[in-house]
Amino acid sequence: METIWIALLSFILSFLFALGGVGSAVALVPVLHWLGIPLNEAKPTGLFVNTVSLIGASISNIKNRKLDFSMGIPIILASVFVAPLGAYVSTFLPEKTVLGLFVLFLLFSGNMMFFFKGSKYADQYRSDRPIPAMLGIGALAGMVSGMLGVGGGGIVSPLMIMLGFNPKKIAAVTAFVVPFSSLTGFIAYWSMGHFNPALVLPVGGAACAGGYLGTHFMQTRLSPATVKRFLALVILGLGIKMLFRLF
- Write the pLDDT tens digit of every residue in 49-62: 888 777 766 777 78
Q: What is the pTM for the complete model shown? A: 0.78
Q: What's the mean pLDDT in 68-97?
A: 89
Residue 201's pLDDT band, with cuts at 50, 70 and 90, is confident
CA–CA separation, 190 vs 186, rounded Å?
A: 6
Q: Which residues contact 59 (CB under 8 A, 6 or more apart)?
A: 212
For 96, counting Cβ atoms within 10 Å of its Cβ (0-12 exposed, 13-18 middle, 19+ buried), the class is exposed
For residues 20 and 171, is the Cβ–Cβ distance under 8 A?
yes
Nearest-5° Cα angle at 38, 34 to 41: 115
Residue 93: Cβ within 10 Å count:
13
The residue range of the domain holding 31 is: 2-246
- Number of structural domains (the chain) is 1
Residue 218's pLDDT band, with cuts at 50, 70 and 90, is low
CA–CA separation, 175 vs 234, rounded Å?
A: 17
For residues 151 and 105, is the Cβ–Cβ distance under 8 A?
no
Residue 231's pLDDT band, with cuts at 50, 70 and 90, is confident
Q: Which segments of the chain does DSSP mark as H helices, in order?
A: 2-18, 25-34, 39-63, 69-90, 95-115, 131-148, 153-162, 167-191, 197-221, 224-246
Q: What DSSP designation does 22 have?
A: S
Q: Give pLDDT, residue 142.
A: 93
CA–CA separation, 130 vs 73, rounded Å?
A: 12
Q: Give pLDDT, residue 119.
A: 53
For 92, counting Cβ atoms within 10 Å of its Cβ (0-12 exposed, 13-18 middle, 19+ buried), the class is exposed
130/231: higher pLDDT: 130
